[in-house]
Amino acid sequence: MSQPQFRTPKGTHDVLPEDQQYMTYIKKAVRHRARQAGFKRVDPPIYENRAIFERGIGAHTDIVEKELFLVSSKQSGDDAAELALRPEFTAGICRAYIEHGMQLLPQPVNFYAIGPCFRHDRPQKGRYRQFHQFDFEVIGLKDASLDAQLIQVLTKILSDLRILDRLTLQINNIGNSDNRKMFAQAVKDYFIGKERHLPEIDRNRLQTNPLRLLDSKEEDTQILLKNAPRLEQFLDAESKDYHATVLDYLETLGIKYVENPGLVRGLDYYNQTVFEFWDQSTGAQNAVGGGGRYDSLMELLGGKPTPGLGYACGIERIIWHMKEAGVQAPNKDNVDVFVAQLGPEAKKSCLKLITDLRELGVHTVGALGEASLKSQMRLADKFQAKYTLLLGKMEVKEGTIILRDMKAGKQKQIAFKQVVPMIKKLLGERNLDTYTLKDQLGPGEVDDD
Ligand code: AMP
């Protein structure tokens, strides 16, 4: 085969039908658990004013420093980019909360979001430039029970997707910003005279964001950190109390966790609770998701002081885990009936027949080309159709049609008038795909895939 002229850009991929089954299944689990717990869906735009990410996420984080995709129009020129593709949802959702005056709603306001995010990362396994997240945010009220409740919703989703037992919940409390300032200063003091032993990346972090050293993947840094001051030494009584209460609630809910004092999460806006779900075998690398409390983010974005709590999960990584665990997402793209025909009259009748079957909720395809019956039958086989209907010139004349059971390899001639009720009976009413129709007509909500 010759090389295609165009391919997907580096770090992106087509979500092909096989993975759509997983995507749909995951979205359904998320929506279901979100509704149960009073979360409403919000879709912030895919790009926002870049300052929202720079201020919200923090100028000295990898996401903003290296990974932001800037967006500009031809008119504005590259240098004038004021917009950036969203690398995550939280900052945009908080901007929406402020913009739409949602502090007037009953608090907390619970949101969830599902969609693509963009980071100019170095592509590798589980790390893409366009990837999908589902995200939960609890804004406007601070209480340790909300942290525990959010974690519970997430464990329910991961358990619905049958991957919870492959993961561990890692949790920590990183205190308030004063605690962290004191800690950052202590770390800086500790490293005076030792900087040259640090890898360059962490030498820079020491100046800009010392907290990041704690979750550094550099071995030299981790060795040096063994005798460094520890964050928990700087936590105030309130943070310690808060943490103990969250853990207590998790125990009440029967949720297993691992206390991890090295967990800080990379972003500036977190305070108090931070947590991640890690792959049991690979740990921090390829975490399926992470989140925490962000009680000062709203102010950074120009809003009133408002507590917040959020979590984001990478959908590609979940799909990977589901496949590894042998979880097969239900496939609803099966073909029930293949319609084969020969001759212009038959073609016309089939066109109407195909429409009638589809209306009934039967997954129906028909080649309707000029190919021979034999090659149409081969196609029916490839589509793995349950039944094939054959209409040739003779059958049109006689007002009949041939119905072939593909698995049994048996066929019979029936009256053309009988074919729709016959297919309905053979498939069984409950297997008819009337899902979309019901959703749109009923009083319930419209499917928001
Ligand atoms: P973060 O807030 O950076 O921890 O991201 C939350 C989750 O999104 C991660 O745990 C991953 O599952 C997913 N994620 C983040 N960045 C990427 C990426 N570049 N490619 C794929 N998934 C990602």
Nearest C-alpha to atom 17 of ligand 1 is from which residue? 127
Contact in structure between 192 and 200 (CB atoms under 8 Å): no
Q: Is 388 in the pocket of ligand 1 (CB under 6 A)?
A: no
Weakly modelled stretches of the chain, pLDDT under 70: 1, 77-79, 268, 284, 435-449
| Closest C-alpha to 171, from 256, 112, 229 | 256
Task: DSSP letter for 386, please.
Answer: S
| Pocket of ligand 1 contains residue 287 by CB under 6 Å | yes
Cα-to-centroid distance, 288 and ligand 1 (Å): 7
Check if 128 has its Cβ closer than 6 Å to any atom of ligand 1: yes
Is 65's C-beta closer than 6 angstroms to any atom of ligand 1? no
Look up residue 245 and give its amino acid.
Answer: T
Query: Which atom belonging to ligand 1 lies closest to the Cα atom of 121?
Result: 19
Total length of the chain: 449
Q: Is the CB of 270 under 6 A from ligand 1?
A: no
Q: Which two tokens stand for residue 438?
A: 């019901």
User: Which ligand 1 atom sits nearest the alpha carbon of residue 129?
Assistant: 19
**9 SS3 class:** coil
Whether 61 lines ligand 1, by a CB cut-off of 6 Å, is no
User: DSSP H helical segments within 325-392, as ranges?
Assistant: 344-360, 373-382
Note the pLDDT of residue 331: 87
β-bridge mates for residue 172, sequence order: 274
Contact 273, 292 (CB under 8 A): yes
Own/partner long-range contacts of 396-403 (Cβ < 8 Å, ≥24 apart): 396/343, 396/345, 396/346, 396/349
Binding site membership of 279 for ligand 1 (Cβ less than 6 Å): no
| Block residue for tokens 């396994």 | 125
Give CA angle at 135 (134, 139), nearest 5°.
Answer: 165
Summarised one tens digit per residue, pLDDT across range 246-273 is: 999 999 999 999 999 888 887 767 899 9
Name which of 122, 75, 136, 438 is nearest 293 in CA terms: 136
Q: Which of 272, 85, 94 is nearest to 173 (CA)?
A: 272
Question: What is the phi/psi pair of residue 76, to 5°?
Answer: -80, -20
- Strand ranges for 228-341 from DSSP E: 258-259, 271-279, 289-293, 308-314, 337-341
CA of 448 relative to ligand 1 center, distance in Å: 23
Closest of 287, 306, 284 to residue 297, by C-alpha: 306
Q: Is the CB of 132 under 6 A from ligand 1?
A: no
Per-residue model confidence (pLDDT) at position 439? 55
Is there an atom of ligand 1 within 6 Å of 316 CB? yes
Per-residue pLDDT at 436: 58
Beta-bridge partners for 290:
276, 312
Q: Whose CA is nearest to atom 16 of ligand 1?
A: 127
Amino acid 440: pLDDT: 56
Dist CA 439 CA 155 (whole Å): 28
**Phi, psi values for residue 244, rounded to 5°:** -60, -40
Q: Are 163 and 138 in contact (CB under 8 A)?
A: no
CA of 327 to the centre of ligand 1 (A): 22
317: Cβ below 6 Å to ligand 1? yes
Tell me what pLDDT residue 201 has.
85
Q: Which of 127, 267, 268, 311 to mutate to test the pocket of ligand 1 (most atoms within 8 A of CB)?
A: 127
CA–CA distance, 117 with 317 (Å, rounded to integer): 14
Cβ burial 301-337 (10 Å sphere, 16+ → b, else e) = bebeebbbbbbbbbbbbbbbbbeeeeeebeeeeebbb
Contact, 302 vs 99, CB < 8 A?
no
Beta-carbon neighbour count of residue 427 at 10 Å? 20
Atom of ligand 1 nearest to the CA of 276: 10
Residue to probe by mutation, ligand 1, list 30, 64, 119, most atoms within 8 Å of CB: 119
* Rounded distance from Cα 285 to ligand 1 centre (Å): 10
Listing DSSP states for 35-47 in one string gives HHTT-EE----SE
How many Å apart are CA 424 and CA 431, to the nearest integer? 9
Which residue minimizes the CA distance to atom 15 of ligand 1?
314
Contact 157, 136 (CB under 8 A): no
Count Cα atoms within 13 angstroms, Cβ side, for 58: 17
Instruction: Look at residue 224 and give its three-state secondary structure.
Output: helix
pLDDT recorded at residue 204: 86
| The predicted structure's pLDDT at residue 315 | 97
